[in-house]
Structure 1
Amino acid sequence: MAPNDPVHLRGPVLVRRENGGERSTTDQRLLDKNQDTDWLHTDPWRVLRIQSEFVNGFGALAELPDAVSVFGSARTRPGDPVYEQAVELGKALTDAGYAVVTGGGPGQMEAANKGAWEANGQSVGLGIELPMEQGLNRWVDLGLHFRYFFVRKTMFVKYTQAFVCTPGGFGTLDEFFEAITLVQTDKITRFPIVLLGVDFWTPLVDWIRGTLVEHGMISAPDAELFLVTDSVTETVEYIRDAHQRAALTAEEREDLYGEEHRGVER
């Protein structure tokens, strides 16, 4: 005998032999005003917000030309030598054909964006939601604001081809160590990293090249995956040269540099 149990349809799903069933349709529940807003704070809803941030970021940055990320303190101000050097850096990167991407905030980020803007380059800011709201600085001509740090970090790595770390705090250190870890583990290629400011960065570099290497925590070549310099000109040349070498075929690299440079150089 054919079953006579009630049938309930939930979109494409047929459910038989279920007591009660739904007393309303999905459309009705969607369009009804729901006073319970707990769903705004559930993980499934967060997944959709995370997805939307990726979609917005990919859409906004997909056609960005070759770009360099500049990191540094949010606490410096115009007139500070470190700030003025970041302005110079933004101009030099623009003149070399790169877009300049920063965290969009004040200080060193503002300075690099300002340099790119004044040189008629593309000035990009990727902001982040913080307890003390910063907003995007006025020198940004393409800006996005993110809720989630890990989405924002993905945009920096996916859409820029080099990192320059000017003097900064925990956030700058976080970006530096994440980038160098990705390079060390071959997660990214063609990715030069520069620490701009010899006096500021030397204690950290001494610890990396001394303590970490001496204790076997990293290999000696790992301590050479970045450049430390005071020169904006050297910074830009280092980035440009690394990208030019990476664009060569294996045979071209061997002809120019010898067999030891047959692999992709960073």
Structure 2
Amino acid sequence: MRLEFETADKLARHLAEDIDLRHAVFQGVDLTAFADRLAKADLRDAVLLGCVIPESLQGKLFDASAIIFPHIPNTPFAKYRGLLYTPEELQDAYRPGDHDSYQATLDGRIYEHFKRSGPNPDDAVEALTRRLHDMAITDAMQEFIVGKRIVAIMGGHSMRRSDPMYTQVALIGRELTQKGYLVTTGGGPGAMEAAHLGAWFATRSENDLLDAVKILTAAPLYDPIGPWLDAAFAVVEKYPVKDRDACQSLGIPTWLYGHEPPARFALTIAKYFANSVREEGLLAIATGGVIFTPGSAGTIQEVFQDACQNHYNSFGVVSPMVFMGTQYWTEEKPVYPLLKHLAADKPYGKLLEIHDHRSDVVAAIDSFDSSRGTQRI
């Protein structure tokens, strides 16, 4: 297995003990301060992705057959980033009340850049930089989820904050986080935001969470973005997160839907350019199960995408598909009866459940977790 260094601190800790760096990967690290130490290191077949390389090291790297991917300028995003995003980073320059300030945020600037060249850029360098970025995000996400029990919550982006279902989803997110699961969503508004809101309040009372929902209902939908964000920032100010580890959740949004800002309550964000990579990856990592709350075409697509992964056991794990809302999933959007028929002779057929109460939804996830024992990642 290759050593990977995404930060200067991580490299410094390693060099304090060892100078064997054969096949090591360096992602976006400024190597200037380490020049003397690296001059004595074994750098054969190392890979350097967008690093700052002092002139004194260049000859050594050439002799060591190192592979160097240079810095590519003129984009607002880091191509070789070693860490996932945080909401503070993506929404860094936003000032509540000044709705135009979102354009100056990192998220806003990347989205404007994305729109200029479109979802399928003709420019080969632009296409390459996006792929490099998404590769780095996937690599960082795989490191982030090691050892975590992951449950995805899917649902409509247009679910209003004033919808009773929004509150129920938030309470589910809170309880699952309290039980030690990593709640994961598509990272946008609606049901996705509700799940992250619940995780944010994992160390606070249910009454605090309900008060936060009341604050958020001042702007029930994400369009327009400004009031929607202002309400979220008001909650963050009144109820700052107490313990990032205990309140952790993962949002996985995309700039393809960049008009939907990322959920402010997701403490870690893996944002992609390629929506197809993002959707497949989101469902693939949810080995603890997927909860489907009411949603439209996008959510229904995710239902069958998850069903396909389970049907063919694509990733070596068959996990629960739990639907919330009997009337919705059997009458309004009668997906559940079809899925039961499709899965009748498959192992995942026994893992399909539908419920109306959040306690039953959580119990369905929990019972699967208990039955698997230590097999989970």
With structure 1 as the length reference, what TM-score do the two structures score? 0.69
- Preserved contact between residue 150 and residue 183 of structure 2 (Cα < 8 Å): yes
Q: Return closer, same or farther for 1:43/1:163 CA change in 2, 3 Å cut-off.
A: farther
Task: Give 1:51 deviation, angstroms.
Answer: 4.0
Higher-strand-fraction structure: 1
Task: Give 1:238 deviation, angstroms.
Answer: 1.6
Q: 2:327 aligns with which of 171, 183, 199?
A: 199
Q: 1:238 aligns with which of 364, 368, 376?
A: 364
Alignment partner of 1:63 is 2:144: yes
Alignment partner of 1:143 is 2:269: yes
Aligned to 1:133: 259
Alignment of 1:1-266 (within 5 A): 41-42=122-123, 46-47=127-128, 49-64=130-145, 65-120=148-203, 121-130=247-256, 133-161=259-287, 162-188=289-315, 189-203=317-331, 204-205=334-335, 207-208=337-338, 213=341, 218=342, 220-222=344-346, 224-247=350-373
Q: Return closer, same or farther for 1:152/1:131 CA change in 2, 3 Å cut-off.
A: closer
With structure 2 as the length reference, what TM-score do the two structures score? 0.50
Distance of 2:179 and 2:275 partners within structure 1? 29
Q: Return closer, same or farther for 1:194/1:205 CA change in 2, 3 Å cut-off.
A: same
Larger Rg: 1
Cα offsets for 1:40-96 (capped at 9, x unmatched): 624676355224303223214523321211111111222211111111111111122
The residue type paired with residue 328 of structure 2 is: F
Task: Give 1:240 deviation, angstroms.
Answer: 2.3
Task: Give 1:221 deviation, angstroms.
Answer: 3.1
Moved more, 40-49 or 52-61: 40-49
Cα offsets for 1:181-205 (capped at 9, x unmatched): 1111111314211111111111324
Q: Return closer, same or farther for 1:62/1:46 CA change in 2, 3 Å cut-off.
A: same
Task: Give 1:131 deviation, angstroms.
Answer: 5.5
Secondary structure of 2:160's partner? coil
The residue type paired with residue 359 of structure 2 is: T
The residue type paired with residue 202 of structure 1 is: T
Task: Give 1:156 deviation, angstroms.
Answer: 1.0
Q: Return closer, same or farther for 1:233/1:77 CA change in 2, 3 Å cut-off.
A: same
Q: Return closer, same or farther for 1:166/1:148 CA change in 2, 3 Å cut-off.
A: same
- Preserved contact between residue 87 and residue 111 of structure 1 (Cα < 8 Å): yes
Moved more, 225-234 or 178-187: 225-234
Unmatched segments (≥5 aa) in structure 1: 1-29, 250-266
- Preserved contact between residue 157 and residue 190 of structure 2 (Cα < 8 Å): yes
Distance of 1:52 and 1:136 partners within structure 2? 18
- Preserved contact between residue 165 and residue 196 of structure 1 (Cα < 8 Å): yes
Q: How many residues align?
A: 209
The residue type paired with residue 176 of structure 2 is: L
The residue type paired with residue 303 of structure 2 is: F
Distance of 1:195 and 1:156 partners within structure 2? 17
Task: Report % sequence identity.
Answer: 25
Secondary structure of 1:194's partner? strand
The residue type paired with residue 338 of structure 2 is: I
